[in-house]
Amino acid sequence: AQTVTQSQPEMSVQEAETVTLSCTYDTSESNYYLFWYKQPPSRQMILVIRQEAYKQQNATENRFSVNFQKAAKSFSLKISDSQLGDTAMYFCAFMKGNYGQNFVFGPGTRLSVLP
Amino acid sequence: SQTIHQWPATLVQPVGSPLSLECTVEGTSNPNLYWYRQAAGRGLQLLFYSVGIGQISSEVPQNLSASRPQDRQFILSSKKLLLSDSGFYLCAWSKAFAGYTFGSGTRLTVV
């Protein structure tokens, strides 16, 4: 079975600085997808970024980028130029490469952006 | 474009009362549908998922049930609520490998 670990329960960062959230996963699959979701205080789950395991290039979405290390089974999220609106819970998630499979979510990291 | 609607947003129910939470998806067909529960400050727990009408898989045995009477409708129910059923309930849909899209959630308090 797949597992997703987020070793940082809480983190904080000053506004405009950069922060990296870590995520590791365990799987024997070769075809899979990885995601980062953001859950602000409103509790709406919002997709931040998505990475296909077969792609070596790291995904980037504006200020959000990932460092995907497939051999190390690591998938960290870097937030550049942190903004107050980035304050949220961040969940790393794994999905096997078979249509219809369920996600495996990590326990989450609570990020606070400080003014 | 695809949208997902979940209601109600907030619900306060007495112990022993029934429950019905509804989720509908627009703009797609034959989506996979999911119900998750999130306790305060905790992670996400998958309750049910469905790959088609009438097809429900339960991940956690409990006094909740789910139904999918139509292709894009997913309902979470209970005949008698327990205090432990309190939490934040999220509906989600997926298709292919784009990932989940979540509804806005229902905050359920059982008193």
The reply to whether omega before B69 is within 30° of 0 (cis) is no
Residues sharing a CB contact under 8 Å with residue A67, sequence separation 6 or more, in sequence order: A20, A58, A74, A75, A76, A78
- Number of neighbouring beta carbons within 10 Å of residue B5: 13
Distance CA B76, CA B66 (A): 4
Domain ranges of chain B: 3-110
Query: What integer is the mean pLDDT of A29-37?
Result: 91
- Number of neighbouring beta carbons within 10 Å of residue A102: 18
User: Do the chains contact at A107 and B43, CB–CB below 8 Å?
Assistant: yes
- Please tell me the predicted confidence (pLDDT) of residue B2: 82
Q: What is the CATH number of domain A3-102?
A: 2.60.40.10
Is pLDDT of A12 > 70?
yes
Cα–chain center distance at A73 = 13
Going from the C-alpha of B6 to that of each of A16, B25, B89, B103, the distances in angstroms are 35, 9, 10, 6
Is pLDDT of B92 > 70?
yes
Cα–chain center distance at A59 = 11
- Number of neighbouring beta carbons within 10 Å of residue B69: 9
User: Do the chains contact at B97 and A100, CB–CB below 8 Å?
Assistant: no
Between the two ends of chain B, the Cα-to-Cα distance in Å is: 38
- Please tell me the predicted confidence (pLDDT) of residue A25: 96
Helix (H) or strand (E) holding B102: strand B100-102
Tokens of A98: 């078979």
Look up the CATH superfamily of B3-110: Immunoglobulins (2.60.40.10)
Q: For residue range A91-107, what is the model confidence (pLDDT) as tens digits? A: 999 988 765 567 899 99
Is the separation of the CB atoms in A94 and A50 below 8 Å? no
- Please tell me the predicted confidence (pLDDT) of residue B41: 72
Q: For residue range A60-94, what is the model confidence (pLDDT) as tens digits? A: 999 999 999 999 999 999 999 999 999 999 999 99
Is the separation of the CB atoms in A99 and B97 below 8 Å? yes
Q: How far is B22 from chain A (nearest CA, A)?
A: 16
Q: For residue range B37-75, what is the model confidence (pLDDT) as tens digits? A: 998 777 898 999 999 999 999 888 679 999 999 999 999
| Residues of A engaging B, defined by a Cβ cutoff of 8 Å | 33, 35, 37, 42-47, 50, 52, 91, 93, 95, 97, 99-100, 102-103, 105-108
Q: What is the pLDDT of chain B when averaged over all its residues?
A: 92
